[in-house]
Structure 1
Amino acid sequence: MGSRNSVGSLLDSWAVQRRVIGALLMREVLTRYGRHNIGFLWLFAEPMMFTLGVTALWSALRTVHGSGLPIVAFAVTGYSSVLLWRNMPARCIKALEPNLALMNHRNVKVLDVYLARLLLEAGGATISFVVLCVVFASLDWMRGPQDLLKVAVAWGLLAWFGAALAILVGAASEQSDLIEKLWHPISYLLFPLSGAAFLVDAAPLGAQHLLLLIPMVNGIEMLRDGYFGSQLRAHYDVTYLVAWALGLSLLGMAKLRLLSRTVTPE
């Protein structure tokens, strides 16, 4: 009887949690995109426009990326992945300030605010990536993935890494304004090193090991391995990326727990 009550309580808590995050999601969409023009469509139209711009530029300049892979597919897999992990921390920095009034509600927790923003960013980047792949494949500008499961797993690992990093950076930014000032230059420095614009196999042997120390490189290499398969020689370590994501998750949740004790609702 006790186990049934426990399961029932857990299901009730999960139902409340879903409703809270759903309401926060709708609030974020309306706050960020409004009800005018294309509204909600900006959620994935914005990352699509950025990726399309980069793809068009690379195609026009015939940029060399160290392989014979189609430039359109190379750009889409690279820059869509960057938008997935890079935008999450930016959206979580100082995320509590405009939501302090919501903390008066018993069921709204600090984590809920971050989860709503993370789901919104991950959803927008994912929809953008899928739509671009489908559209370009229908135009014969790129082919579909050779191993869809591996692509999905790599995308999920990059999303996990981005979400864990975002929670840690977001929680730290509430306690120090320096985090907000430092994250932007750091994210710009990480951008060219993330693996979006190059293949590890094209780098000198001495540099390949150093590049693989950057966790995002492993995720993008895995995603491209799933997408292009035998067309390239990929280098990545799934265990290393999982260890980074898990470590950041633990640090982020610990930081968030400390932050929750100091939050004062408006």
Structure 2
Amino acid sequence: MRTVLALVLREMSTRYGRTPGGYAWSILEPLGAILVLSIGFSLLIRTPSLGHSFLLFYATGYLPFDMYQSISNAVARAINFSRPLLLYPAVTWLDAVLARFLLNSLTSVVVSVLLLGGILAVIGHRATLDMVPMVEATGLAMILGLGVGTLNCALSGLFPIWEVAWSIITRPLFLASGILYIYEDLPEIARTILWFNPLMHISGIMRSGFYPTYVATYASPLYVLGVSLVLMALGQVLLGRYHREILNA
């Protein structure tokens, strides 16, 4: 734990300490994305699929997606980021993965709480909130990001072209994760295909905590958890077997 904490502090100083604004950019970046797209879509469509505020509707879909993406991207680059330190016996690849996971998870949670709390205060949202699905969706987004990031960390280390290929493959993910719509609005064939996207389940669970009349009957936490654990196990097996080859590449 001391090693993991030291790596977390090192990354905090490297990522935020040398950037003007530091942690403020972690809040301003997703806030800017939410505001710009919310204003744009509010000009095209009068009301969102749920509620009356595009700002809240979009934020409840975008923030879990952004959490997953930031965690998976950070974990996928854990070995490259800490490569010089991994030459010391006291620091292992698992320490590097856990450090990046913990820092990005905590940062994303703080950002989500601040932004959603601010949006609720601005729009005067008076509906009763359900914390259970909110916490559940947040936890699922975190563990999915860890699973995808761990596997990508191994694959990109073994096959450098994989990082580029993955960015191309997942480019449509923003449009396929229920950020701009709800699952029930889709035609049957699209629902059949997109059900296998774990992020679609996460966005539905998150929104059920903000909209009391909405029940995401299609969402399966066990499916998301199963996919995440399988990906994580594959990544750990590959890193455990090939981490020395990756470091020496």
Whether these two folds match at TM > 0.5 is yes
**In the alignment, which of 209, 213, 221 is matched to residue 230 of structure 1?**
213
- Kindly provide the CA deviation profile for residues 25-44 of structure 1, in whole angstroms up to 9, marking residues without a partner as x: 12112222234532233333
Give how far 1:143 is off. 4.6
Gaps of 5+ in 2: none
Q: Distance in 2 between matches of 1:125 and 1:72?
A: 18
**CA distance, structure 2, for counterparts of residue 63 and residue 108 of structure 1:** 54
Q: Which amino acid aligns with 1:235?
A: Y
Identity percentage of aligned residues: 25
TM-score, structure 1 normalization = 0.83
Q: In the alignment, residue 28 of structure 1 is paired with which amino acid?
A: E
The answer to whether 1:256 aligns with 2:222 is no
| Alpha-carbon separation, structure 2, partners of 1:64 and 1:182 | 37
Residue in 2 aligned with 1:217? Answer: 200
CA shift for structure 1 position 223: 1.2
Match of 1:39 in 2: 22
Aligned to 2:179: 196
Return 21-30 or 55-64, whichever deviates more. 55-64
Moved more, 185-194 or 37-46: 37-46
RMSD over aligned Cα, in angstroms? Answer: 2.4
Structure 1 partner of 2:34: 51
Q: Map of 1:142-181 to 2, 5 A cutoff?
A: 142-143=125-126, 146-181=129-164
Task: State the alpha-carbon separation in 2 of the partners of residues 132 and 184 from structure 1.
Answer: 27
* Cα distance change on mapping 1:98 and 1:162 into 2, 3 Å: closer
Q: Gapped runs of 5+ residues in structure 1?
A: 1-16
CA separation of 1:175 and 1:233: change in aligned 2, threshold 3 A: closer
Deviation at 1:110, TM superposition (A): 0.7
Cα displacement string for residues 75-113 of structure 1 (whole angstroms, at most 9, x for unaligned residues) = 111111110112223223443234222123332111211
Separation in structure 1 between the aligned mates of residue 128 and residue 76 of structure 2, nearest angstrom: 34
Corresponding position of 1:9 = none
Contact kept, 8 Å, 1:86 with 1:162, in 2: the verdict is yes
The structure with more radius of gyration: 1
Comparing 62-71 with 125-134, which one deviates more in the overlay?
A: 62-71
Cα deviations by residue, 1:23-78 (Å, 9 ceiling, x for unpaired): 11121122222345322333333333333333333334446654455311111111
CA contact (8 A) 1:51 1:75 kept: yes
CA distance 1:98–1:206, change in 2 (3 Å): closer
Distance 1:159 1:171, change over 3 A: same
For 1:92 and 1:184, the matched residues in 2 are separated by 15
**Distance in structure 2 (CA, Å) of the matches to 1:144 and 1:248:** 37
Q: Which moved more, 1:207-216 or 1:158-167?
A: 207-216
Give 1:154 shift: 1.4
1:105 alignment partner, one of 77, 85, 88: 88
The structure 1 segments of at least 4 consecutive aligned residues displaced by more than 6 Å after TM superposition are none
Report which stretch shifted further, 91-100 or 144-153: 91-100
Normalised to the residue count of structure 2, the TM-score between the two structures is 0.88
Matched with 1:130 is 113
CA distance in 2, matches of 1:205, 1:212: 11
From 55, 62, 79, give the equivalent of 1:96.
Answer: 79
Post-superposition shift, 1:169? 0.5
State how far apart, in whole Å, the 2-side matches of 1:174 and 1:145 are: 46
The count of residues paired between Structure 1 and Structure 2 equals 249
* Distance in structure 2 (CA, Å) of the matches to 1:139 and 1:66: 20
Give secondary structure in 2 for the equivalent of 1:139.
helix
Paired position in structure 1 for 2:101: 118
Structure 1 counterpart of 2:7:
24
Aligned counterpart for 1:207 among listed residues 190, 197, 210: 190
Q: What is the CA-CA distance between 1:131 and the residue it aligns to?
A: 0.7
